[in-house]
């Protein structure tokens, strides 16, 4: 049973946004610190990637584990109520994500997905961004 009444639950869910989230802002800060310049939420690309590095043809999605169903992640829990609704919703999200990423790859884009639970490891994010954009580590001269 849900601990919140339907009105409160509705207010909470309405506050969940898809742009400029905390996890997305973290990846942006790291990319900017690396000297990478990017565009945000380009509507002309499949899925409106969260960050786009046009010069490197790299598209980045920052996915929440709950909404995008990160496999084997404790954050990808299933709500106890309206189970059929949530299963259909989550399956639709996963299918849509796969199609969008495939469309980007087919048109020559490299696609990176960062999961919310992985964002504590900043060095890992840096390494993946460096590898995808072919930028080298700065020398300590």
Q: What is the pLDDT of residue 110?
A: 97
DSSP summary character for residue 37: -
- Sign for the pseudo-dihedral over CA of 112, 116, 118, 124: positive
> Residue 102 falls within a domain, yes or no?
yes
Percent of the chain with pLDDT over 70: 91
Q: Answer whether 130's CB lies under 8 Å from 112's CB.
A: no
> Residue 53 falls within a domain, yes or no?
yes
Percent of the chain with pLDDT over 90: 66
> Residue 6 falls within a domain, yes or no?
no
Encoded tokens for 53 = 């590095």
Q: How confident is the model at residue 107 (pLDDT cuts 50, 70, 90)?
A: very high
> Residue 111 falls within a domain, yes or no?
yes
Encoded tokens for 135 = 């930028």
Q: What is the pLDDT of residue 141?
A: 46
Q: How confident is the model at residue 140 (pLDDT cuts 50, 70, 90)?
A: low
Segments forming the whole domain that contains residue 83 = 19-133
**pTM for this entry:** 0.83
Q: Which residue has the higher pLDDT, 65 or 2?
A: 65
Q: Answer whether 129's CB lies under 8 Å from 114's CB.
A: no
> Residue 8 falls within a domain, yes or no?
no
CATH of the domain at 120: 3.40.960.10
> Residue 71 falls within a domain, yes or no?
yes
Q: Classify residue 104 as exposed, middle or buried by CB count within 10 Å of its CB (0-12, 13-18, 19+).
A: buried
Q: What is the pLDDT of residue 81?
A: 84
Q: Answer whether 94's CB lies under 8 Å from 69's CB.
A: yes
- Sign for the pseudo-dihedral over CA of 5, 14, 65, 100: positive
User: What is the residue-wise DSSP string for 84-127?
Assistant: HHHHHHHHHHHHHHHHHHHHHHHTT-EEEEEEGGGTT-HHHHHH
Q: Alpha-carbon distance 52 to 70, whole Å?
A: 22
> Residue 139 falls within a domain, yes or no?
no
> Residue 5 falls within a domain, yes or no?
no
pLDDT digits (tens, 9 = 90+) for 26-73: 999 999 999 999 999 999 999 999 999 999 999 999 998 988 999 888
Q: What is the pLDDT of residue 43?
A: 95
The number of distinct structural domains making up the chain is: 1
């Amino acid at each position: 049973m849900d601990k919140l009444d339907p009105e409160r639950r509705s207010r909470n869910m309405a506050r969940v946004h898809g742009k400029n989230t905390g996890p997305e802002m973290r990846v942006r800060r790291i990319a900017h610190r690396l000297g990478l310049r990017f565009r945000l939420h380009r509507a002309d690309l499949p899925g409106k990637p969260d960050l786009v590095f046009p010069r490197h043809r790299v598209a980045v999605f920052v996915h929440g584990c709950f909404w995008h169903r990160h496999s084997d992640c404790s954050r990808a829990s299933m709500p106890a109520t309206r189970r059929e609704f949530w299963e259909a919703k989550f399956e639709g999200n996963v299918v849509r994500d796969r199609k969008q990423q495939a469309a980007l790859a087919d048109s020559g884009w490299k696609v990176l997905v960062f999961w919310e639970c992985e964002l504590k490891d900043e060095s890992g994010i840096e390494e993946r961004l460096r590898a995808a954009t072919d930028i080298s580590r700065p020398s300590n001269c």
